Chain A
């Protein structure tokens, strides 16, 4: 089937009463799930999974995909408005998004995010459509050695992600890594650091940690100084619209974010979250306004928010082309297919073209719907900031508790949420950066896992980590980025060359 035939076929599939409704309902539910702090796409899709069992397989997948990318649209809303990420892929958005809100640009930022998400999502769909089977093979190139380089190298590069002093970033990152080791360890199933509490063997849930660390801590800070709270003036149409400069500064980060997100989506792991980290870091390095990033620059929002949408979309490739789920969300989609007796695998696209093309076309439709849905909603979200604090803040806490609970139906996670909230408050008071803690929590287990898998696989031979061309390339890149400051100093000292344009070294 050629691409044109495919699209026409996909249109036929999507424009049936059931499938169109599934796409719209999914996109809407996704936006809601994204907006509600703590309830992320994984919990959201898990909740509706039983419903999709009763739908057909095509409608089921269309709806779940809608929730996934819909959540990427909505997830940034609370991050930008109240410094509380809707899900872990929006952690980076907090930093600059919230600062911009404090400057009164909330409406404009949300508009940029909606547009960026649309661009990232739509471009990625086109990529998936044109190259899906070939791109499926890309993931196979990555084994434990390559992933170890990517994650361990990534941790090094990301350690300075949110500025501040070295200790302000490294200390929370170390805490994040340590927290991630609590619980039943994935390789052998033995319990670590559970101190005899069976509840701890399930580990510290990332969602509870993120919502507590940011949300609860932020609320405590707000309560402490109520006048600190942002009180936006009435948001007119003009405040909603980004200025010409904001537009101009956004398109390059959005473009880079699309590419980063698309590539991460093809690889195993929490692609949307990782790609938002990578995009933020890249903007800090190459953007013209990199000095402003961290202080409220539109680049720090446009890049990561575009990246996570592109990643959400392209992570459909390994599922549809290989039948292998690379993250928790596509694993749920796989289950929805298998419930209907459909065997995912390389034959899915030829044998079930209605699923592949139906999903592709539904993503075009869904993204369009989300754009038109989200732009008018921005006014509503921004005006929520005008709700009196004594109503607004308790409401947010209640929602965050529900969110923390719902991921694993676990009251223990609510306790974690409360505890981490206090820790986050203290860390914020001491001027530590919080983003590195989340990064440590996300990357720590991945690094350990790939290190151990690699050693098991090579029967204990350490050289496995530098035996692959891809791994070596990644390590060299990491080295170049890490030592950029020294390189520049050397060049200046020895040859008098001034490098002003790019600053890969981080804390410039």
Chain B
């Protein structure tokens, strides 16, 4: 090794040692944060994650890098978050299905309850909308329901996979209203359920509103009902089912991290996160993207997840009894 290489190496080592020393002494956050999204870009979760990350960046003054880690209905990416080092540099998005439903049917996961991870903030919800073809014989939800009650087990509603949010809310509705509407699972993006409705192969479909808004506005599909309490702004003509039945399960999105984060780190990241979800900019984003804003801090988010868990357990019992 010649002297130049030696001195270069010495400088590099010294520099590394110095920066390591600075890093430990410095306050959180001192380097880039990884924000994991357990779904493919292209789903409902990616845009909201990137919006959240870009706003978090401005508050914490470090880069927040969004990384997609899809697979296993969101459990693979969530597993990576749960198993990561609790230093506040790995956090990510998760949805209520992966957080509360998957542990009920899947025993091999790295988590079971909200005690196994750290809820940081609740981002938003997405209600489920029931649509039919525009020329269908049911002009409103009451007519649809009347026919469903008359022909139990004959009305078919397309959903994007069994025990996904749209399927579960239909089951919940069956449970509280004593109806038997059948769900038909179309896997692969939800587009196929739309084709099946447009092609007249099934009577209706249920999914988060965003996917069908274009068709409803174009007058090729009609929104009959939305599973919320009170009107859902993007679909003003849809009957809010939640006003008369306790069937309002939808999708809900949270930011979570591994458990055991140091209190100062947790405080900093969760207060910054709360600041983001309560900001004007974020509320405007959720509105244009057909989400429903529901800002909740880490304590409230945890209670929220537990509440969902309870509903799922009851619902699963009902589904299995039948």
Chain A contacts to B: CB under 8 angstroms: 46, 49-50, 53, 139-144, 183-184, 186-191, 194, 196-199, 201-203, 268, 322-326, 328, 331-332, 334-335, 338-339, 341, 343-348, 408-410, 449, 452-453, 456-457, 459
Residue of A nearest to B36 (CB): A409
Beyond contacts A345-B213, A408-B68: 11 other A-B pairs, Cβ-Cβ < 8 A, are: A46-B42, A188-B163, A188-B185, A198-B108, A201-B72, A202-B71, A268-B191, A323-B214, A335-B47, A338-B210, A347-B217
Q: Given that A186-B188, A346-B218 are known contacts, is A143 also in contact with B68, CB under 8 Å in the complex?
A: no
A–B pairs, 17, beta carbons within 8 Å: A46-B68, A49-B41, A184-B73, A188-B161, A188-B162, A198-B72, A201-B106, A202-B71, A268-B188, A324-B191, A324-B195, A331-B42, A334-B42, A343-B214, A345-B214, A449-B188, A456-B184
Q: Provide the bound-state CA to CA distance between A323 and B161, in Å.
A: 20
Contacts of B186 in A (CB 8 A): 453
**A187–B195 contact, CB under 8 A?**
no
A339 to B162, CA, bound (A): 28
Separation of A28 and B186 alpha carbons in the complex (Å): 36
- A49 partner residues in chain B, CB cutoff 8 A: 41-42, 46
**Proximity bits, B47-70, A CB within 8 Å = 1, else 0:** 100100000000000000011111
Contact: B187 with A187, CB < 8 Å? yes
Tell which of B47, B106, B188, B218 has the most Cβ of chain A within 10 Å: B188
Contact with A along B125-157 (1 / 0, CB 8 A): 000000000000000000000000000011010
Inter-chain CA distance A331–B191, complex, in Å, is: 9
Residues of A within 8 A of B288 (CB): 341
C-alpha gap A268/B188 in the complex (Å): 10
- Given A189-B73, A324-B195; A345-B217 close (CB under 8 Å): yes
CB of B230 closer than 8 Å to a CB of A: no
Residues of A within 8 A of B66 (CB): 50
The B196-228 residues at the A interface (CB cut-off 8 A) are: 196, 198-199, 201-202, 210, 213-215, 217-218, 220
Measured between C-beta atoms, what is the minimum distance from B75 to chain A in Å?
Answer: 7
Residue of A nearest to B210 (CB): A338
Contact B68 A328 (CB under 8 A): no
Nearest B residue (CB) for A342 = B214
In the complex, how many angstroms separate the beta carbon of B305 from the nearest chain A beta carbon?
19
Which residues on B sit within 8 Å (CB–CB) of A139? 195
Question: Given that A189-B73, A345-B213 are known contacts, is A335 also in contact with B202, CB under 8 Å in the complex?
Answer: no
Indicate if the CB atoms of A46 and B40 lie closer than 8 Å.
yes
C-alpha spacing A459/B108, complex, angstroms: 32
Q: Which of A190, A328, A347, A457 has the most CB of B within 10 A?
A: A457
A339→B41 CA distance, assembly (Å): 11
Inter-chain CA distance A332–B189, complex, in Å, is 11
Q: Is B110 an interface residue (CB 8 A)?
A: yes
Q: Are A324 and B76 in contact (CB-based, < 8 A)?
A: no
Q: Are B161 and A189 in contact (CB under 8 A)?
A: yes
- Give Cα A57–Cα B1 distance, bound, in whole angstroms: 55
Inter-chain contacts of A334 with B (CB < 8 A): 42
- B187 touching A328 by the CB < 8 A rule? no
**Taking the nearest CB of chain A, how far is it from the CB of B114, in angstroms?**
19
Within the complex, which residue of A189, A409, A457 is in contact with B162, where a contact is CB–CB below 8 Å?
A189
B309 within 8 A of A: no
Q: Which of B42, B43, B46, B199 has the most CB of A within 10 A?
A: B42
Task: Chain B residues near A409: list those with CB within 8 A.
Answer: 67-69
Task: Give the residue name and chain of the B residue nearest to A335 (CB).
Answer: B42
Do A202 and B161 touch (CB < 8 A)?
A: no
User: Which residue of chain A is the closest to B43 with respect to CB atoms?
Assistant: A335
User: With A188-B161, A332-B42, A341-B288 as given contacts, are A201 and B76 in contact (CB-CB < 8 Å)?
Assistant: yes
Which residue, B102, B156, B163, B184, has most C-beta atoms of chain A within 10 A? B184
Taken together as a complex, chains A and B put the C-alpha atoms of A343 and B72 apart, in Å, by 28
B105 part of interface (Cβ distance < 8 Å): yes
Q: Looking across the interface, which residue of chain A has its beta carbon closest to that of B187?
A: A186
Known contacts being A199-B76, A203-B71, A338-B289, is A191 close to B215, with CB within 8 Å?
no
Residues 69-111 of B contacting A (Cβ, < 8 Å): 69-73, 75-76, 79, 102, 105-106, 108-110
Bound CA–CA A186/B192 (angstroms) = 13
Question: Which residues from chain B contact A408 at a C-beta distance below 8 Å?
Answer: 68-71
CA distance in complex: A268, B191 (Å): 9
Q: A346 CA to B216 CA in the complex, in Å?
A: 9
Chain B residues within 8 Å of A194, by CB: 108
Across the interface, A345 reaches (CB within 8 A) one of B50, B71, B182, B218, namely B218
Which of chain B's residues have a CB closer than 8 A to the CB of A46? Answer: 40-42, 68
| Interchain residue pairs A-B with the least CB separation, the first 5 | A345-B214, A202-B71, A186-B187, A346-B218, A343-B214
Q: Which residues of B contact A449 (CB under 8 A)?
A: 187-188
**Once the chains are docked, how many angstroms separate the CA of A191 from the CA of B154?**
29
Q: Is B194 located at the chain interface by the 8 A CB criterion?
A: yes
Q: Which residues of A contact B43 (CB under 8 A)?
A: 335
* Bound Cα distance A53, B42 (Å): 12
Residue of A whose beta carbon sits closest to that of B154: A459
Determine whether the beta carbon of A338 is less than 8 Å from that of B218: no
Shortest Cβ distance from B68 into chain A, in angstroms?
7
Whether the Cβ atoms of B50 and A53 lie closer than 8 Å is yes
> When the two chains form the complex, which single residue of A198, A345, A457 contacts B201, counting CB atoms closer than 8 Å?
A457
Judge whether B161 and A187 touch: CB under 8 Å.
Answer: yes
Segment 149-186 of B: residues with Cβ below 8 Å from A: 153-154, 156, 161-164, 182, 184-186
Complex: chain A residue closest to B76, CB-CB: A202
A201, B75: Cβ atoms under 8 Å?
Answer: yes
A323 and B185 contacting across the interface, CB-CB below 8 Å: no
Chain B residues contacting A346 (CB-CB under 8 Å) are: 214-215, 218, 220
* B154 neighbours in A (Cβ, 8 Å): 459
Which of A141, A201, A203 interacts with B199 by CB under 8 Å? A141
CA distance A88 to B216 in the complex (A): 36
